[in-house]
Amino acid sequence: MTPMVDVAFLLLIFFMSTTQFKPPEQVAVQLPLSRSEIHVPETGTIILTVNRTGQMFISSESGRDIQELAPDNVLDAIVNWRGRNPSAVVVVKGDRDAPFGTMADLMDALAEAKTLRFNLMTDLRRRQPPGSGSGPAAQTPRDGQ
């Protein structure tokens, strides 16, 4: 049995040392909740992050190439990134406390960049549908702006 245990440990150590964990997120985002259960593709995504103060960032799914966007070059950046990877899925990762005005401008920029299909990243809301109890707003704790 010793050789088998040797091999097992070898494999264990190999996988332990080669595993790369997801890098810690550079931008802290508390996602809004929804009942949608569509998964974001693992690769080939362009992630537009908006934090709670409304700062915008663009990155790929790994987050290593993250760069901050000024409000007036959002459109250029989206066009540029879409040009480099035309089949990429655009995912908007907005903080639940981000100002709606910023998000509206971002969505306008996406529409202008001919990105009419995109995803809004959300966390799963594991509760009953509204109407049979309290509505969405009543269930999500409001931490003031």
Partner 1 sequence: MTEAPAAENGKPNKRGKGPLGRAKRKRVGVRIDMTPMVDVAFLLLIFFMVTTVFRRPLAMEVNMPEPGAKVEVPESNVLTVYIDRDEQLFAKVGKADPEPVTWDDLAPSFAAGVAANPDLIILVKISREARYEPMVDMMDLLEDAHMERFSLIPMKEADEQALEQFR
Instruction: Output the six-digit token pair for 51.
Output: 């934090």
Instruction: Output the six-digit token pair for 127.
Output: 């509760």
Scanning 68-76, 80-88, 94-102 for contacts with partner 1 by CB under 8 A, the matching segment is 94-102
Cα separation, 31 vs 34, in Å, equals 9
Which residues is 28 bridged to in the sheet?
none
Write down the least CB distance from residue 89 to partner 1, Å: 9
Write down the least CB distance from residue 67 to partner 1, Å: 20
Q: What DSSP designation does 56 have?
A: E
> Which distant-in-sequence residues (6+ apart) come within 8 Å of 140 by Cβ?
32, 33, 96
Q: Does 23 bind partner 1 (CB under 8 A)?
A: no
Q: Does 82 bind partner 1 (CB under 8 A)?
A: no
Contacts with partner 1 by CB under 8 A lie at: 1, 4-5, 8, 31-40, 42, 50, 91, 93-104, 107-108, 110-112, 116-125, 129-131, 134-138, 140, 145
